[in-house]
């Protein structure tokens, strides 16, 4: 799992977290509210925004991330009561964490850092091992099949106001044979009163796995997640392979 590129970006500033968390909670409240234990495993916890938010809703949370840079950012602003951040390999999550959980989440593009089906099944099997019976596992990934077929080459721009003015967060994609995609996250500094108006502040390439729905479902099935509900985004919207932006799965 490639993680070095996370040292180049501060995702706490590049994402409108308040809006994102409010939007996602409208969907996540139901599966997490049904959790048999109020203890959540956050896989690929990054800078810790989801973990902190879940804690504010009364959950104990353990966040795991393999990236040294993201783990350090998660600790920068302090760790609230009921939250623990662990630097560890998601492929061995059952060895990294202690105890059992009433729910697990894997949000954003975390799963794309897993590069082969055996490793994906291994990750899911580890999650299954630490969940109590009936616990939901919520995972989210871009619907790469739709993105590749539609020819879409970039995710929507994000405009950020900071102490230096305005920046633009750009994510360009190049699909490659064999089921991989090169992501090129880039931060542009925008100064419309200057020439040139746009300057590259930081940019990096990372090769990811563009997982298909079938591959994810096979890995979940092999790992013991027999029940699965599919959605097209973080909302009660059915998954449509030809139109959905995301693939969201609630597995048990």
Q: What mean pLDDT is reported for the chain?
A: 93
The pLDDT confidence band at residue 15, using thresholds 50, 70 and 90, is confident
The pLDDT confidence band at residue 1, using thresholds 50, 70 and 90, is very low
Q: Are 146 and 244 in contact (CB under 8 A)?
A: yes
Residue 213: predicted pLDDT? 96
Q: Are 48 and 63 in contact (CB under 8 A)?
A: yes
Q: What is the pTM for the complete model shown?
A: 0.92
Neighbours of 178 (CB within 10 A): 7
Q: Which residues, in sequence order, are bridge partners of residue 89?
A: none
Alpha-carbon gap, residue 246 to 231, rounded angstroms: 8
pLDDT at 5 over 80: no
Whether a cis peptide bond, with omega within 30° of 0, leads into 196 is: yes
Structural domain boundaries of the chain? 4-143+211-251, 146-209
Over range 16-24, report the average pLDDT.
Answer: 89
Residue 2: predicted pLDDT? 43
In whole angstroms, what separates CA 37 from the centre of its chain?
22
Q: Does domain 4-143+211-251 have CATH number 1.10.8.640?
A: no
Alpha-carbon gap, residue 13 to 171, rounded angstroms: 15
Q: Are 191 and 207 in contact (CB under 8 A)?
A: no
Residue 77: predicted pLDDT? 83
Residue 7: predicted pLDDT? 52
């Amino acid at each position: 799992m490639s993680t070095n590129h996370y040292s180049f970006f501060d995702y706490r500033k590049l994402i409108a977290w308040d809006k994102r968390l409010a939007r996602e909670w409208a969907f996540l409240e139901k599966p997490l509210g049904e959790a048999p234990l109020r203890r959540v495993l956050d896989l690929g916890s990054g800078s810790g925004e989801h973990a902190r938010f879940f804690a504010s809703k009364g959950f104990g949370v353990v966040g795991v991330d393999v990236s040294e840079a993201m783990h350090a950012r998660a600790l920068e602003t302090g760790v609230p009561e009921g939250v623990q951040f662990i630097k560890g390999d998601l492929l061995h999550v059952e060895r990294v964490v202690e105890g059992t959980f009433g729910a697990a989440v894997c949000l954003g593009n975390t799963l794309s850092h897993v590069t082969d089906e055996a490793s994906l099944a291994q990750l899911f099997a580890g999650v299954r091992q630490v969940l109590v019976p009936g616990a939901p596992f919520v995972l989210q990934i871009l619907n790469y099949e739709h993105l590749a077929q539609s020819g879409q080459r970039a995710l929507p721009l994000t405009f950020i106001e900071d102490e230096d003015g305005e920046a633009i967060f750009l994510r360009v994609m190049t699909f490659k044979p064999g089921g991989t995609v090169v992501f090129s996250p880039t931060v542009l500094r925008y100064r419309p009163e200057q020439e040139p108006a746009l300057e590259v502040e930081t940019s990096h390439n990372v090769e990811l796995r563009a997982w298909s729905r079938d591959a994810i479902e096979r890995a979940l099935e092999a790992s013991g997640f027999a029940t699965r509900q599919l959605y097209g985004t973080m909302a009660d919207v059915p998954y449509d392979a030809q139109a959905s932006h995301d693939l969201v799965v609630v597995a048990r």
